[in-house]
Structure 1
Amino acid sequence: MIVPAYNAMPELTDCITSAMEQTIGPDQLEIIAVNDGSTDGTGKELDRLAALCPSLRVIHQENSGTAAVPRNVALDVARGDYVFFLDSDDYLGPDALRRMVAMADENGTDVVLGKMVSVGGRGVPTAVFRNTQPRTDIFSSAAYSTLGCWKLFRRSLLERLNLRFPPFRNTEDKPFTATAYLNADGISVVADYDCYYHRNRANGNNLTLTAQNLSHRMRGTRMCFEAVARHLEPGPRRDQIMRRHVAWELCGPLWWLLLREDDEDIRERIYPEIRDWVEKWVTDPIIEKLEPRDRLLLHLLRADRFEDVMTVIRNAKEDAGRGHVVEGGRVYWEHPLFRDPAAGVPDSAFDVTDRLPVRHRLASADVREDGVLRLTGHAYIENVASLDTATELVLRRHDANQPEIRVPAPVHAVAGLPDDERHANAGFVADVDLSTAAAGAPLGHGRWNLFLDVRAQGISRTVRLKKPEDGRTPPQWTMTTGTDEPTAVTPYVTGQGDLSLDVGQDVPRDDTPCQVTGTSWHRSRKGTLVVTGTLAGEGAQDVGAPRLRVENAAGERHEVPTSPGRTPGGFTAELPLKGLRPGRWTVTLPLSASSVAAVPYLAGLGRARWFHLARPYAARPVKGASETTLVLEVHAVDVPGVVRRRLRAVVRGVRR
């Protein structure tokens, strides 16, 4: 672990202590702290802590003015298989390193991201940490959105690339991390444990806060562009990665930092440099995916219209509040340069159609006596008057390639909206008969998510339907048809506050007397899931012995009975997964014909492996696959792939 430190008191003590107390153990840990010429007692505190911890090595040097130099000094003497960079302002969760190293070892990945937590309001990435990802890459995950160096890197990767930090005050870690990403053999994400606590110093002298001029960022940004161009061939994959730098490192700083610079410096040095970036690396597909104001800025840079660039940046706040033009089924930002012949900016730069939010409210959701689900509320497209309106309820099967189902939701007048006149016809009522919704046939079994397709003036926008405003979710009801058996329909609200329906499956309810207390893998019987729990409280006496069940999307089920536990009301169930078809399996505890308890996703349940018919198989929990219930993914192990990854690791070790 590498910790650069400059005038880092008092946060430094928490930082180093969190490293010393890692559960991975001191014999598996080398902490290298570099005191970069501090004058506030940082050096003395590091020496004090080193006397308490043999794993802590302290290097004292003259001040370099950047975190890059002390990190490089530590990298030159590091000897571990992995390197983790911890800033002296921040601290780690106790089990962070053990989890990240285990993830890298198990999956053969070169970079591991541990979930970051904001302390005191400091910004942290969130999209990449929605789910734990054992093995992914920069093209199929949000990993590239975070280019801070607070990650676990396989040291052989850094040495093979001779990768070091450029000596800049700001943006020094972005080209370093970008290059590592672009050359990594796999990336892992640990999202089920708070690994890294990110905070601002009490005195506010973080480098990222004090080095805020655009000039501090220019060289690092150019290195990012050059790294992507060097390691990726032109095409969609390069554009996908370049887009991150265009939006965040090019356009973003221009809007809020350019006007801080000297006018002459802008014209003579900064503007020509940025134009060079645009000409070399910004393609039309990149521009198309950016927000309108960035599109406008880039078109002006391409056309070398310096004065227009400065004007739109100076007037950005005023121009953001301008109106919109609806024409030909599209909506355009009514910016002063819109259709200005002199500027020559195409209409597409001002097109905001696909970015307009839908404002909606579900007032009620009720089941009528005839089994029809009635939804009422209002919905309208922001900045588009509700003329020629139409609204449809859209049902989409979760995790299944089935056609969506559309149900008309007639519109009507509604009062009380922010702009009554523009959105007078925003009300809707949708009646859904699930027994005939699928072109006269019943809605198929599975989980169905609900959306609204809202249309006005030829503009169509779709939005996920939120839970009812009154907080009342309809109770479970039975859908009947002339030929099929009665089917249970269970409305529920997801963790994101969205309304969904579960049709024909036993959906866990929160009001059952069953509580799961633990999930684990059997110590001796490989591939056997063990679930423990209790039956207690109101209704427990009416419940028979529960059963442990796994079920896939095709409706295949496997069950085992539970056994009494050691405590009153306790139970244990052991369910072998051998022989299950590869795919995702939902784990529940049926209590009766109408009541099912959830087996929740509990942190700590790792991966299981076993052999079946002479082939290796594995199962792992999939965090976030269900809002309520544990989902296991069963798959055959790719033995050749595992062997190839291990051989590559061995070869790299030999080259070192």
Structure 2
Amino acid sequence: MPRPRVSVIVPAYNAMPELTDCITSAMEQTIGLDRLEIIAVNDGSTDGTGEELDRLAAMCPSMRVIHQENSGTAAVPRNVALDLAQGDYVFFLDSDDYLGPDALRRMVAMADENNTDIVLGKMVSVGGRPVPTAVFKTTQPRTDIFSSAAYRTLGCWKLFRRSLLEKLNLRFPPFRNTEDKPFTAAAYLNANGISVVADYDCYYHRDRANGNNLTLTAQNLSHRLQGTRMCFETVARHLEPGPRRDQIMRRHVEWELCGPLWWLLLREDDEDIRERIYPEIRDWVENWVTDPVIEKLQPRDRLLLHLLRADRFEELITVIRDIDKDAERGHVIDKGRVYWAHPLFRDPAVGVPDSAFDVTDRLPVRHRTESASWREGGLLRLTGHAYIENVPTEDVATELVLRCYDADRPEVRVPTRVHAVAGLPDDDRYANAGFTADIAPATAAAGAPLGRGRWNLFLDVRSQGVSRTVRVKSPGDEWTPPQSIVTAGVDEPTTVTPYVTKWGNLSLNVGMEKPRDDTPCRVTGTVWHRSRRGTLVVTGRLAGEGAQEAGTPSLRVENGAGDHRETRASLSGADGRFTAALPVKGLRPGRWAVTLPLPGLSGVAAVPCPTGLGSARFFHLGRPYTVGPVQEASETTLVVEIRAADVRRAVRRRLRRLARRMRG
């Protein structure tokens, strides 16, 4: 009998009723049961899990069930199954989750074609359970942990080449929580390449209806200490000190050290914190947390680590206890830097360096371009407003900056005229945020014309000596760039053309071939219908090159399995404006990309994700659903996620809130 390609390992403890969907999703994989083995380990369940596994195995010759006494951790049943696995690859599937039908076929093909040892399949949240998203922005046939976001996800729900696990003699440590992180970390650090399948929903991640997921029930810091220490030790064992180790260590410092300290430490017994947990964590900091790691963290985490380094136990506890109050204390501006006005800032008795409180590079810039138009004398005038949040607009010295990306040319800086502006949040603080800048292409480069090339426009927003630089956006979806003008060049007249990039940024084309407008279909609005619940309405217009040939667009949603729904837009007037309304009711839960197919061009225009689009609720077959945008799913295309509402969970949450109000 040929060896199976994949061994699917399922640890199961009191996993009903989700277990049936889980195992069925493995049985129905398109790779075929003749190429699979399913090894399910019943870890002493008392809710009928064992009986259900036996029932399913009786229908599936590729499935094997092991029954054992309860171990209290998913690690032990996984190891039992791993010792029995015969597949070329191993996939760990939790009993409350399930697979997309084509998941394993795609993942095995990816590993085979690229000779990679680990494959990450796109994860999908069901019911709101958090899933990693950064690594799944694009499909990556071959990458590694240093040049991708793969190391951000250390859950074991991945495809592993079994020969790698056996070469490392790799098994899960028997911890109740954080058992999969050192396992996956060791595999990552020794893998011959990693692949990412991001164009198909492979793994559906959900909480159990009864709320007894180990991840949720083992929420004490003491449950995490052994696993976290093992993560640090694993990285230190496989990577030499230096930038690469720091890059990987940073993940554990942020997620396994600082994060749990903020929300778990004060749940522990006071004596246990002082005698056991605090010394353990201090040891991690002394051994593995370097200055370059600390520099890249957010200020409150930097403060924690400096207090641990200085052995300031009492201050550490006070900082964690008062974090909500201290977060609202405001800022101190000094010599062009902005600092968190924390009670310990510049406290000589504690001695935490100023750098721990420095928030300058994390302050957002609020800005908007109001207009861009040609004026007499060949001047391109930009108007708008810009300010650095938490820095009042005093001594403003904002400049416009032009940077050429077609050639190695010096940047060009254009002073702006600052003026008062009304209507902004907190008008008093940001009263002088308005700006006007005149670009003279014929003389902008220190009296000489701008050189040939495509010039990106930036704002260097400066106030009170504090400086932050942002890209200049176009004035909006409805705005049309002004026409080209001809200016005096060095040798001959030069054409200067303002244009908008596909990311919505404003740029100048100086003397180059005119940039082709690849988006004859421009979206001007995306909202949920006010009365027809669960219906997406997209408005736009056909303009620019290719608009005549584009034809009437359709509004289309499509998921990773190729399922789709489409509706024809209706045109209104002779100016190319259109409206399309598409109901998502009846579509299955998951993520759906939203596009506008253009029949005349045999092309597709993306519907960008608008910042103001919220969620919508609707009922289908008597069950409540929610649908809303997934902001981080794509940089260019709106992706909406449909979720079946967990009524029991919502009721429990509402009852808990009611109980808290009554106690208060």
TM-score of the two chains, using structure 1 as the length reference: 0.74
Pair 1:53-2:52 in alignment: no
Q: Helix, strand or coil for the counterpart of 1:477?
A: coil
Q: Which residue of 1 aligns with 2:478?
A: 472
Deviation at 1:274, TM superposition (A): 0.8
Q: Which residue of 2 aligns with 1:547?
A: none
> What's the CA shift string for 1:505-556, capped at 9, x where partnerless?
543444379xxxxxxxxxxxxxxxxxxxxxxx983499xxxxxxxxxxxxxx
Deviation at 1:377, TM superposition (A): 2.0
Pair 1:376-2:383 in alignment: yes
Deviation at 1:487, TM superposition (A): 6.7
Q: Helix, strand or coil for the counterpart of 1:480?
A: strand
Deviation at 1:476, TM superposition (A): 7.0
Pair 1:89-2:89 in alignment: no
Q: Which residue of 1 aligns with 2:30?
A: 23
Pair 1:38-2:22 in alignment: no
Q: 1:455 aligns with which of 462, 467, 471?
A: 462
Pair 1:213-2:220 in alignment: yes
Q: Which residue of 2 aligns with 1:546?
A: none
Q: Which residue of 1 aligns with 2:198?
A: 191
Pair 1:308-2:315 in alignment: yes
> What's the CA shift string for 1:208-252, capped at 9, x where partnerless?
111100001000000000001111111111111111111111111
Q: 477-486 or 56-65: which moved more?
A: 477-486
| Equivalent pair of 1:109/1:186 in contact (CA under 8 Å) | yes
Q: 325-334 or 213-222: which moved more?
A: 325-334
Q: Which residue of 2 aligns with 1:491?
A: 500
The letter of the residue matching 1:153 is F
Q: Which residue of 2 aligns with 1:145?
A: 152
| Residues 1:481 and 1:364: Cα distance change in structure 2 (over 3 Å) | closer
Counting only pairs closer than 5 Å after superposition, residues 287-326 of structure 1 correspond to structure 2 as 287-326=294-333
Q: Within 1, Cα distance between the matches of 2:204 and 2:357? A: 40
Q: Within 2, Cα distance between the matches of 1:501 and 1:37? A: 68
Q: Within 2, Cα distance between the matches of 1:390 and 1:481? A: 28
Pair 1:354-2:325 in alignment: no
| Residues 1:326 and 1:164: Cα distance change in structure 2 (over 3 Å) | same
| Residues 1:213 and 1:412: Cα distance change in structure 2 (over 3 Å) | same
Q: Within 2, Cα distance between the matches of 1:262 and 1:170? A: 19
Q: Within 1, Cα distance between the matches of 2:174 and 2:550? A: 69
Q: Within 2, Cα distance between the matches of 1:512 and 1:417? A: 32
Pair 1:276-2:305 in alignment: no
| Residues 1:479 and 1:255: Cα distance change in structure 2 (over 3 Å) | same
- In structure 2, runs of 5+ residues without a counterpart are 1-7, 523-545, 552-597, 607-632, 638-664
Q: Helix, strand or coil for the counterpart of 2:10?
A: strand
Q: Within 2, Cα distance between the matches of 1:7 and 1:367? A: 70
The letter of the residue matching 1:480 is V
Q: Which residue of 1 aligns with 2:11?
A: 4
| Residues 1:356 and 1:234: Cα distance change in structure 2 (over 3 Å) | same
> What's the CA shift string for 1:165-224, capped at 9, x where partnerless?
111111111100111111111111222222222111122211111110000100000000
The letter of the residue matching 1:409 is T
Deviation at 1:372, TM superposition (A): 5.5
Q: 2:115 aligns with which of 108, 114, 124?
A: 108
Q: Within 1, Cα distance between the matches of 2:321 and 2:85? A: 48
Counting only pairs closer than 5 Å after superposition, residues 392-431 of structure 1 correspond to structure 2 as 392-396=399-403, 403-431=410-438
| Residues 1:407 and 1:215: Cα distance change in structure 2 (over 3 Å) | same
Q: Within 2, Cα distance between the matches of 1:249 and 1:40? A: 33
Q: Within 2, Cα distance between the matches of 1:200 and 1:275? A: 33
- In structure 1, runs of 5+ residues without a counterpart are 514-536, 543-590, 602-623, 629-656
| Equivalent pair of 1:364/1:375 in contact (CA under 8 Å) | yes
Q: 2:77 aligns with which of 70, 83, 88?
A: 70
The letter of the residue matching 2:295 is E
| Residues 1:47 and 1:365: Cα distance change in structure 2 (over 3 Å) | farther
Q: Which residue of 2 aligns with 1:566?
A: none
Between the two proteins, what is the percent identity of the paired residues? 77
Q: 1:539 aligns with which of 548, 554, 557?
A: 548
Q: Helix, strand or coil for the counterpart of 1:340?
A: coil
Deviation at 1:44, TM superposition (A): 2.3
Q: Which residue of 2 aligns with 1:389?
A: 396
Deviation at 1:48, TM superposition (A): 2.5
Q: Within 2, Cα distance between the matches of 1:12 and 1:390? A: 62
The letter of the residue matching 1:337 is L
The letter of the residue matching 2:513 is G
| Residues 1:217 and 1:342: Cα distance change in structure 2 (over 3 Å) | same
| Equivalent pair of 1:367/1:474 in contact (CA under 8 Å) | no
Q: Within 2, Cα distance between the matches of 1:464 and 1:93? A: 39
Deviation at 1:467, TM superposition (A): 4.7
| Residues 1:117 and 1:408: Cα distance change in structure 2 (over 3 Å) | farther
Q: Helix, strand or coil for the counterpart of 2:260?
A: helix
| Residues 1:207 and 1:451: Cα distance change in structure 2 (over 3 Å) | farther
